Structure 1
Amino acid sequence: MGTGVNEGELLWEPSQEFKECSNIGHYMRWLKENRGLEFGEYNSLWHWSVTEIEDFWESVWEYFDVKASRSYSKVLTERKMPGCKWFIDSELNFAEHVFRNMAIDRPALIFKREGEPILEISWQELHNKVSFVAAMLRDMGVKKGDRIVAYLPNIPEAMIAFLASASVGAIWSSCSPDFGARSVVDRFKQIEPKVLFATDGYTYGGKAFDRRPIIAEIQEALEVLERTVLIPYLDRTAGPSGLRDVVMWDDIIGDKSVELDFEQVPFNHPLWIVYSSGTTGLPKALVQSQGGILIEQLKFLGLHLDLKPEDRFFWFSTTGWIMWNILVSGLLMGSTVLLYDGNPGFPDMDVLWDYAEQARMTVFGTGAPFLISCMREGMQPGKRHDFSALKSVGSTGAPLPPDAYKWVYDSVKDDILLGSTSGGTDVCTGFLGACPLLPVRAGELQCRCLGVKAEAFDEEGNSLIGEVGELVITEPMPSMPLYLWNDPGDKRYIESYFDMYPGIWRHGDWIKITPEGSAIIYGRSDSTLKRMGVRMGSSEIYRVVEDLPEVLDSLIVGYERPSGEYFMPLFVVLKEGVELDEELKSKIKNKIRTSLSPRHVPDAIFSLPAVPRTLNNKKLEVPVKKILMGIPPEKAVNVDSMSNPQSIGYFVELAKKLTHH
């Protein structure tokens, strides 16, 4: 159900008091007092941050009082991508910065499990548990640079195990337990872990899933794995049935804390390995640094999301999505971090809004598809709940359409900062996102983030304003991967990000930067539709098509046929009982024509059972396009990175029919 709003329509403006009380407002006053730098508004501050990048990042270090056991000799070796090094010679520890907040008397974590009451964990309890796990890792012989992996739901134990790993200088990596064995092995086998943390199972949508048989398969495949720490979660009495070299979580955790030592590591020492959705081939294992993530998160969470110690910071995520890594970083700000484990739509779509009220969330973050689903269901959570504590709603993972922006202000709360963020697993942050100093306009991301020289490029590498182009980053960022694991000579790293414009990061998103400095993302550029020389993003078509009451979901691709003609089919998932007859096809085409343009109208419309999606719920446009172009499915897509692998069969059959025409 649409809400009738135009892209760019003003929906909210911060009050003078809101701006002055924000961290970024305070930071600007600090720059004036300590550096003699005065910026009248955000855009001039941003411009300084991406031209004087060394001065900017040094100011972030000082403003947030980064604690280093050894100071840096230089902020940046050279402005070169890939390959530059940050804060040379400095040594520090990410987890040590988390536990600077020990004195805070608010909870460190709040946890809610599907169908269970809320649980609070104090800073002292968090510290105690991390100290026991860190001591156990040291007893197991875990040293700096060893890999620790987790196959865990979004539970407090995952955060505890991560902080213990960071404390001892090990390298963390996690997958969510809804990943199948092959998917997990494709990721973890690459990095040869020493220790695995896992739960006996998890609950989702009211159903229990015992994962011990999968853990046995993972153990089998990881030859160098020495120990598995099992956390009884599905069944509190669960034992290690059929698993080897198991240590039970409850046997590690004592009553009083032991000494928690923070291993001092170089700024550019790996913190964790994250994976980019491997739609083809093995997932890319991206290595991000302790210092790079620390300083980026202080900037992103502090200055853009405006997190403070009194905040209660929630983002719906699993341990297999980068938002979990950003969520754990909320502890750096001293904020209370809120976790949820379960299905966000069970028993109904109100469960997270209910949690928001009960836990008095100040920041409610989620994926754009969740907000869109709530809007489509006609929900009005603001009428049913007390959101007096709520100060902002965050959205990421996909473009948020203008009508969903309007829905948040109409149906959740009218006086909040709606921060839509676009970034990537690859950098563990937003390139574009929220800014407490700026207005919110429908469909627009408020700003390019500080220190992020995001631009829109045409094919020749010219920077565009007010036109759609490739999202590129033209100056280095501290949280860019140090390297890809097992990637001699950075071959895959360069192919993945620096192939189109040498020395410039091409992200693979389609973007328009407005003259005011805000931005609109139009979906993935590698699945961009290009008709009669004009490029179109798939997300604008989805917005129109999925607004129709008959349509539940949709997918559109465009590709050159062997004849040279461009073919652009649309696939729709229809409501139960609805047939795709000529009348409905005409209705869909007319809606697209009148809402967008004749150029956006598909060449054919097909009804399909389900849109293929990744484990993180992204539509698989590129693999579908490849299959329709005749590329064998096993080369076009890695089914283990999919949430619904059976959905690909439809396109394999269709490709056969289309080639016979």
Structure 2
Amino acid sequence: MTDTPLWSPDPARADASRMAAFRGWLATERGVEVADYQELWEWSTRELEAFWGALAEFLGVRFHADYERVLGSTAMPGAEWFPGSTLNYAEHALSVGRDDDVAVIFEREDGLSTTRTYAELRAEVASVRAALVEVGVQRGDRVVALAPNMPRTLVAFLAAASLGATWSSCSPDFGVRAVADRFTQIEPVVLFAVDGYVYNGREFDVRPTIAALQSEIPSLRATVLIDYLTDATAPDTIPWSEFQREGELAFDPVPFDHPLWVLYSSGTTGLPKGIVQGHGGIVVEHLKMLALHSDFGPGDRFFWFTTTGWMMWNYLVSALLVGATAVMYDGSPAHPDMGALWRLAAQHKVTYFGTSAPYIQSCLKAHLTPARDHDLSSLRALGSTGAPLSEEGFQWIADEIGSDVQICSVSGGTDLCTAFVGSAPDVPVWRGELSCRTLGAAVESWSPEGKPLVDEVGELVITKPMPSMPLYLWADEDGSKMRESYFEPYPGVWRHGDWIRITPRGSAVIYGRSDSTLNRGGVRMGTSEFYRVVEAFDEVADSLVIDTSADREGELVCFLVLADGVALEEVEPALRKALRSALSPRHVPDRFVVIAEVPRTLNGKKCEVPVKKILAGVPPEQAVSRDALANPAALEAFLPS
């Protein structure tokens, strides 16, 4: 563990941050004196009611009916936050920015672009809200979208939320079965859908998917067709332009725990879990993350490369909660070349650029030099999530984006729609480490016996409730699915399913999924450590490591996607030597196998556990749902011959 930070906060900037203002406010208004971030985190997780109540007041949460207390029941699952209060997410999103401030900037890979001021966004939301009322949408009804990361998707979401309807979305590149598996569960009454989309220089027609969904979802009262590619029509749909109505912008107050949206698990081994989160929990959590941890406000421009099928879309649009600008992009990050997103950042003066760790790794391997090639002087922070960011990835950002750019490697999940390990404006960044546990997140590393660990790898657990934890899982009437998913083997404690190490200074390192751990001769290691070594080779485009051991000795197999023109015999000796040196002799694979591509979920995550099950003899149809994969043909390499 190095003691030299890769990035350190500028004292003047840290003192001017909202995090510093919150600490000052706590001292003045609450008599809470904390010397630094670590003390503030300790207080926030020790005094939950005091922290979340203070946060709501400091950040100006707009309650219509006041709460009886901050936290009723503290049980997990089942914690009761701000009982008695009412509010509305959409009101928070549309009440901060000034009329002429830019709310949304949109770019498509083929050059289509548009912007919305806050005044324009409010007017459009009002007209779609009025149309939803006209077709009978009421509080609690579900409204869904098969649409990309674009302004009209945002408009539809905010209009639904303003009424207390519950939102859900899928990216239009999802297959029919993947979308139906998600939407049919929740019985939506309105579907918004685009006629097609563009990706990697090609156009795709979505209308056959729309027709299939209409036949599979009998609860639909209306399907609204968004003219995204052409002026094409589709049977039994209402064009977007004809759907809007004259109406006043209004917000229906709903209880703090009223369902705001339904997100979904990956669904690799069955129907995706419908994860229900509430208006209030998302408002206070996203305000905390964006206002305090990211230090956002009016004038900031927030970009994250995402689709509407990933929780980062929900997180991105919450930039509106603090009056910032959401920068949306739809298309391939590598079209026409790997510089596409960096040109976007330069063109629109993005202040916070968010992406995935694999994208950073791809830029590193392509030897990109974004700061030399583009004007990134507006950029002050770069966020990374979706997988552990390697030490080399950290160093590439410092070298090629800028040493003054804060590296915000964060980890959390769809389950809470937030990061609970991440960064703060007053905490340094160390190479390969997530800077801190976020405020109010009682994250610990635990042994299998439930013993807290310091500077040792263990299960990532959250020992106290957070407001954005799921209200419930869809159709989980007795709560058994919720308990099985998150509260085993530690009853009353959230087990997230990742390996984590908390350092003595309070930073953290994530090692990948705990259910795909490499257990060689009793020595456990996360897969991210393995990938860091293997994928550092230019000859390796991608990899997947599988340990077939259970309670017995088995094989360690490394599947490789090699760069064009590379043969296995050219790189295997060097890989074995590097793994032996960097990890241990036990972690040198028994076999290297060349494959065409690594199977990934619709959100781009490696399918380690399903492949492990297939190699252990589980029938493929039981091990994985092909409809949950972005590239189901990639499974063929692992099936019995």
Deviation (angstroms), 1:102: 4.4
Q: Does the CA contact (< 8 Å) of 1:561 and 1:629 recur in 2?
A: no
Secondary structure of the residue that 2:298 maps to in structure 1?
coil
Alpha carbons of 1:310 and 1:561: their partners in 2 closer, same or farther (altered >3 Å)? closer
Please state if 1:643 is matched with 2:638: no
Deviation (angstroms), 1:382: 0.1
The separation in 2 between residues aligned to 1:9 and 1:277, in whole angstroms, is: 38
Q: Which of 348, 358, 373 matches 2:347?
A: 358
Deviation (angstroms), 1:275: 0.2
Partner of 1:510: 499
Partner of 1:569: 557
Please state if 1:315 is matched with 2:315: no
Secondary structure of the residue that 2:558 maps to in structure 1?
strand
Q: Which of 96, 101, 125 matches 1:101?
A: 96
The superposition leaves residues 177-235 of structure 1 with CA deviations (integer Å, 9 ceiling, x where unpaired) of 01000000000000000000000000001100001001111111111111100001011
The superposition leaves residues 294-322 of structure 1 with CA deviations (integer Å, 9 ceiling, x where unpaired) of 01000011111111111011111100000
Please state if 1:31 is matched with 2:26: yes
What are the residue-to-residue correspondences of 1:599-618 with 2, within 5 Å? 599-618=586-605
Which range moves more in the overlay, 188-197 or 587-596?
Answer: 587-596
| Letter of the structure 1 residue corresponding to residue 206 of structure 2 | R
| Letter of the structure 1 residue corresponding to residue 374 of structure 2 | H
Which range moves more in the overlay, 111-120 or 569-578?
Answer: 111-120
What are the residue-to-residue correspondences of 1:79-158 with 2, within 5 Å? 79-158=74-153
The separation in 1 between residues aligned to 2:382 and 2:296, in whole angstroms, is: 12
TM-score, length of structure 1 as denominator length: 0.95
The separation in 1 between residues aligned to 2:344 and 2:572, in whole angstroms, is: 41
Partner of 1:3: none
The separation in 2 between residues aligned to 1:625 and 1:206, in whole angstroms, is: 35
The separation in 2 between residues aligned to 1:7 and 1:184, in whole angstroms, is: 46
The separation in 2 between residues aligned to 1:339 and 1:284, in whole angstroms, is: 27
The separation in 1 between residues aligned to 2:589 and 2:359, in whole angstroms, is: 27
Partner of 1:659: none
The separation in 1 between residues aligned to 2:286 and 2:490, in whole angstroms, is: 27
The separation in 2 between residues aligned to 1:121 and 1:66, in whole angstroms, is: 24
The separation in 2 between residues aligned to 1:473 and 1:507, in whole angstroms, is: 8
Q: Does the CA contact (< 8 Å) of 1:91 and 1:265 recur in 2?
A: yes
Q: Which of 223, 227, 235 matches 2:222?
A: 227
Partner of 2:572: 585
Q: Which of 5, 25, 28 matches 1:10?
A: 5
The separation in 2 between residues aligned to 1:592 and 1:153, in whole angstroms, is: 41
The separation in 2 between residues aligned to 1:381 and 1:161, in whole angstroms, is: 35
| Letter of the structure 2 residue corresponding to residue 114 of structure 1 | E
Q: Does the CA contact (< 8 Å) of 1:523 and 1:539 recur in 2?
A: yes
Deviation (angstroms), 1:599: 2.2
Alpha carbons of 1:410 and 1:568: their partners in 2 closer, same or farther (altered >3 Å)? same
Please state if 1:251 is matched with 2:234: no
Q: Does the CA contact (< 8 Å) of 1:11 and 1:441 recur in 2?
A: yes
What are the residue-to-residue correspondences of 1:367-446 with 2, within 5 Å? 367-446=356-435
Deviation (angstroms), 1:561: 6.8
Aligned residues: 641
Q: Does the CA contact (< 8 Å) of 1:561 and 1:567 recur in 2?
A: no
| Letter of the structure 2 residue corresponding to residue 572 of structure 1 | L
Please state if 1:49 is matched with 2:38: no
Partner of 1:633: 620
Secondary structure of the residue that 1:88 maps to in structure 2?
coil
The separation in 2 between residues aligned to 1:327 and 1:501, in whole angstroms, is: 32
Please state if 1:541 is matched with 2:536: no
Partner of 2:232: 238
Q: Which of 557, 573, 596 matches 2:583?
A: 596
The superposition leaves residues 328-357 of structure 1 with CA deviations (integer Å, 9 ceiling, x where unpaired) of 111000001100011010000111100101
The superposition leaves residues 222-253 of structure 1 with CA deviations (integer Å, 9 ceiling, x where unpaired) of 11111100001011x1112xx32x11101134
| Letter of the structure 2 residue corresponding to residue 252 of structure 1 | F
Deviation (angstroms), 1:260: 1.2
Which range moves more in the overlay, 615-624 or 552-561?
Answer: 552-561
Deviation (angstroms), 1:499: 1.3
Partner of 1:285: 274
Q: Does the CA contact (< 8 Å) of 1:8 and 1:444 recur in 2?
A: no
The separation in 1 between residues aligned to 2:476 and 2:122, in whole angstroms, is: 36
Deviation (angstroms), 1:101: 1.8
Partner of 1:348: 337
Q: Which of 181, 186, 194 matches 2:189?
A: 194
Deviation (angstroms), 1:520: 0.3
Which range moves more in the overlay, 337-346 or 596-605?
Answer: 596-605
Q: Does the CA contact (< 8 Å) of 1:554 and 1:570 recur in 2?
A: yes
The separation in 1 between residues aligned to 2:586 and 2:41, in whole angstroms, is: 36
The separation in 1 between residues aligned to 2:620 and 2:339, in whole angstroms, is: 38
Deviation (angstroms), 1:595: 1.8
User: What is the percentage of aligned positions where both structures have the same residue?
Assistant: 51
| Letter of the structure 1 residue corresponding to residue 96 of structure 2 | N
Please state if 1:496 is matched with 2:490: no
Secondary structure of the residue that 1:11 maps to in structure 2?
coil
The superposition leaves residues 98-117 of structure 1 with CA deviations (integer Å, 9 ceiling, x where unpaired) of 12124253201011111215
The separation in 2 between residues aligned to 1:534 and 1:9, in whole angstroms, is: 29
The separation in 1 between residues aligned to 2:247 and 2:86, in whole angstroms, is: 24
TM-score, length of structure 2 as denominator length: 0.98
Q: Does the CA contact (< 8 Å) of 2:65 and 2:85 recur in 1?
A: yes
Alpha carbons of 1:572 and 1:8: their partners in 2 closer, same or farther (altered >3 Å)? farther
Deviation (angstroms), 1:560: 2.5
The separation in 1 between residues aligned to 2:626 and 2:290, in whole angstroms, is: 34
The superposition leaves residues 268-299 of structure 1 with CA deviations (integer Å, 9 ceiling, x where unpaired) of 00000000111101000000000000010000
Alpha carbons of 1:104 and 1:437: their partners in 2 closer, same or farther (altered >3 Å)? farther
Please state if 1:73 is matched with 2:68: yes
The separation in 2 between residues aligned to 1:455 and 1:427, in whole angstroms, is: 16
Deviation (angstroms), 1:500: 1.1
Secondary structure of the residue that 2:297 maps to in structure 1?
coil
Q: Does the CA contact (< 8 Å) of 2:131 and 2:244 recur in 1?
A: no
The separation in 1 between residues aligned to 2:112 and 2:26, in whole angstroms, is: 45
Partner of 1:329: 318
The separation in 2 between residues aligned to 1:131 and 1:15, in whole angstroms, is: 42
